[in-house]
Chains A and B, each alone.
Chain A
Amino acid sequence: MSTVSPVLRNRSARIALTVVVAIALIAAPLLLPAFANQTLVRIGVYAVAVLGLNIVMGYTGQVNLGQIFFVGLGAYVTAYGVNHGWNIIVVFVAACAIAGIVGLLVALAAARLGGLAIAMVTIALPIVGVPLAKRLSEFTGGSQGISARFSDAPDWSGLYSDQWQFYIVLLVTAAAFLLARSLVQGKYGRAFGVVRENEAVAASMGVSPYRTKVLAFTIASILGGASGFLYLAAVQYTSPETLSFGHSISLLAAMVIGGAGSIAGSLIGGAYYVFVPQLTNAIDPSFTTLSQGAILLVVLFLLPEGLVSLPRVIRRLGRRRTARPTSGNPPQTAPAHHPVPEAAREGLENTERQDRP
C-alpha cells in the first residue's frame, strides 16, 4: 500500500527529504503572508480531525458519522479551560482526555452493535450535540458561542499571531501524524486491518474485534479533541455551529477524498476540507453542498482509494498500456485490488455489463 515512489525508498534520500520538509515547514510562516499562514493552520486543524476519522474508518472499517462532535467537544473544553485560567498544557490534555473518555463510552456501547450500526449511532452525535451545546450555556455560551484567546503571540517571541498559531498547530499536527503513523504500522495497525477485512478471521487470530473497534474509536475521539484544541487556537471562538451535522459529513468526505486508510491522505483531506468550500463559496455559496456531494461521488467512482492513490493509479494505467495480457478474454476490468475469491462473486455483476445478444 506504499505510495512513495521508488526514489523515496532509498533511505538517505528519505532522510534528506524529511529534513528539507521540516526546514520548509519551520521557515514557512516567517516567509508567507498572514492569509497563507491562516489557511495552512486551518488545514492542520482539520487534518488532525480527518486523521482520527481515518484511524477508525479508513484503517478499522467502522463508519463514523460523528467525528465533528469530538472536535466541538475539544473546542468547548479548551474554551472553558482557557477562560478559567488553566495552564495551557492542562487545557490541551483535558481537551484530548475528555473527548477520549466520551468517545470511549460511546464506543463501548456502539461497538456492541457491530456492522453498520456504528454509523447509525454516530450520526446522532452531531444531531444531539448541537442542541446539547445550546442547552449547556453556562459551559458553552449557548447559541452565541464562546471565545477564548490564548494563541496570540507572546511579546518575547517577536512573532505575529498567525506565525505563533502556525507553530502551535505544526507542533501538535506533526506529533499526531507521527504517532498515528507508528500506530498503524505496528501491532495495533495490523489488528485494525484484520478487523476491517474480516471480524471472524480477527477473532480466530486472537484479535478481539470489539476491543479493537473501541480502541480505534477512542483514538479517533482523542484526535478529534486535539483538533478541537487546535481549532480554538486558530479561530479563538466556537459555537454550536462548529459541530453541525453538515460539517461531520464534510469531514467524512474529506477523509474519503483524501484517501481512506492513508496517513498522507488525511493531510490531503484536511486541505480539501479547507480549500474546496472556499473555492465553491467564491463561485456561488449555494452550490457548496451540491458540489461537495458531487465531488465525493465522483471520487468514489473514479478513485475509490482517494486522491492519495492518484500517482499509483496513473502508474498502473501506464503499465497496463505497455503490457497487456494476450490471452483470450480476461476479465481485466475487475479492479486489481480485489482479492481472488471476490472475483467469483463479482462474476454476476460483471456479466451484466456485457452486450446482450
Chain B
Amino acid sequence: MTLLELADVTAFYGPVQVLDGVSLSVPEGGSVGILGANGAGKTTTLRAVSGTVRTGGRITFDGRDIRGLRPDQVAALGIAHVPEGRGTLGQLSVRENLLVGAYLRKGRKAISADVDYCLDLFPQLQDRVSSRAAALSGGEQQMLAVARAFMAKPKLLLLDEASLGLAPSTAKTVYDSIRRLRRESGIAMVVVEQNANLAFSLVDTATVLETGRNVLTGSSAELKGMDEIRRAYLGG
C-alpha cells in the first residue's frame, strides 16, 4: 500500500520555480531515493512534504491530503524530517534533543527505552548525552539529528544529505546505522543523497530530478547499472 504519494508538485521561491511537476511514490516500509545535481529540487521536494515550502499539486500521506499543513502538523501525522545541515538544537543537550524528538509521544518508559535504543544505535553519542549538541562533531550531530527524528516513532523519515560535510568513513558509519534502523524498525524513507553509493545502499527505488522535474525513475538495481546517469547526475 502506498504511504506517500506526490503528484505533479510545484513550488516557488519567490518568483523562481523550483519544482515543476514532481511525482513520487513511497510504499509502506519502502525506501525511495531522490537523486540529481545541485539545484534540481531534491531538498525542496522534502520541504514540500514536511510543509516548509508552499506547493501546488497533490501530496497525500496515508491516504490524506497533507498539502498546506504546518510542519508541526505534518510531524504529528508521522513524518520526521532530518533537514540538510544536521538540524539539531545546539543549546540543548543530546538527551534533551532526543526528548524533544519524542515531544508528541506519551509514555515515559517507552520513551526512555527508545533513548537507550538510540544510544545503542549510535554508540558515539553515549559519552555525550549531557553535552550541548553544538559541541558535538559534525558526524555526531548528524547521528543525533537522525536519532531525534526516530524518537518521534514516525512512519516516514525524510533524510536530506546525511553525508554532507562528513569524512567518508563517518558518512559510512552514519549510513550503516540508518540501514540497521530501517531493518529493525521498518520505517519508510525518502533519501536525498549526493553520494550515489551511499544512496543505493539504502533505497529500493529512486528517481532522478532535473530542474524540478522527474527525468528517470527505476529500481535501485536498474539505475545503479546506468553509468551515464551516474556521471551526468551524480557526479560519478
Contacts and interface: CB of A to CB of B under 8 A. Distances in A.
Q: Do chains A and B touch in the complex (CB under 8 A)?
A: yes
30 contacts: A327-B10, A328-B10, A328-B56, A329-B54, A330-B15, A330-B56, A331-B12, A331-B14, A331-B54, A334-B14, A336-B14, A340-B13, A340-B15, A340-B16, A341-B13, A343-B12, A344-B47, A344-B52, A347-B47, A347-B51, A347-B54, A348-B70, A348-B71, A351-B68, A351-B69, A351-B70, A356-B69, A356-B73, A357-B64, A357-B68
A5 interface: no
Contacts of A357: 64-65, 68-69
Contacts of A330: 12, 15, 56
Interface of A: 327-331, 334, 336, 338-344, 347-348, 350-352, 354-357
B205 interface: no
Interface in B50-102: 51-57, 64-65, 68-71, 73
Contacts of A327: 10, 12, 17, 56
Q: Which of B12, B64, B65 has the most CB of A within 10 A?
A: B12
A54 B221 CA distance: 63
A352 B72 CA distance: 10
B56 A347 contact: no
Contacts of B55: 329
A350 B54 contact: yes
Contacts of A344: 13, 47, 52-53
Q: Which of B13, B47, B56, B69 has the most CB of A within 10 A?
A: B13
A328 B17 CA distance: 11
A42 to B, nearest CB: 43
A343 B55 CA distance: 13
A276 to B, nearest CB: 35
Contacts, number: 60
A331 B10 CA distance: 11
Nearest to A331: B54
Contacts of A352: 70
A147 to B, nearest CB: 57
Contact of A329 (B15, B16, B56, B70): B56
Given A328-B10, A329-B54, A351 B17 contact: no
Nearest to A355: B68
Interface residues of B, number: 22
A357 B53 CA distance: 17
Nearest to B48: A347
A256 to B, nearest CB: 25
B172 to A, nearest CB: 30
Contacts of A331: 12, 14, 54
B62 to A, nearest CB: 13
A355 B12 CA distance: 19
A169 B59 CA distance: 64
Contacts of A336: 14
Contact of B14 (A328, A329, A340, A354): A340
Contacts of B65: 357
Contacts of B52: 344, 347-348, 351
Given A351-B68, A357-B65, A357-B69, A328 B57 contact: yes
Nearest to B9: A328
Contacts of B68: 351, 354-355, 357
Given A334-B14, A344-B47, A351-B70, 15 more contacts: A327-B17, A328-B57, A329-B10, A330-B56, A331-B54, A336-B14, A342-B14, A343-B12, A343-B13, A344-B53, A347-B53, A348-B52, A351-B71, A354-B68, A357-B64
B14 A343 contact: yes
Contacts of B64: 357
B51 A351 contact: yes
Contacts of A351: 51-52, 54, 68-71
Contacts of A348: 52, 70-71
A329 B11 CA distance: 8
Nearest to B73: A356
Q: Which of A329, A339, A341 has the most CB of B within 10 A?
A: A329
A330 B10 CA distance: 9
Contacts of A338: 14
A99 to B, nearest CB: 42
Contacts of A339: 14
A353 B223 CA distance: 41
Q: Which of A328, A329, A336, A339 has the most CB of B within 10 A?
A: A328
Contacts of B47: 344, 347
Nearest to A350: B54
A329 B67 CA distance: 12
A91 B52 CA distance: 59
Nearest to B68: A354
Contacts of B57: 328
Nearest to A338: B14
Shortest 5 CB-CB contacts between residues of A and residues of B = A328-B56, A329-B56, A354-B68, A347-B53, A343-B13
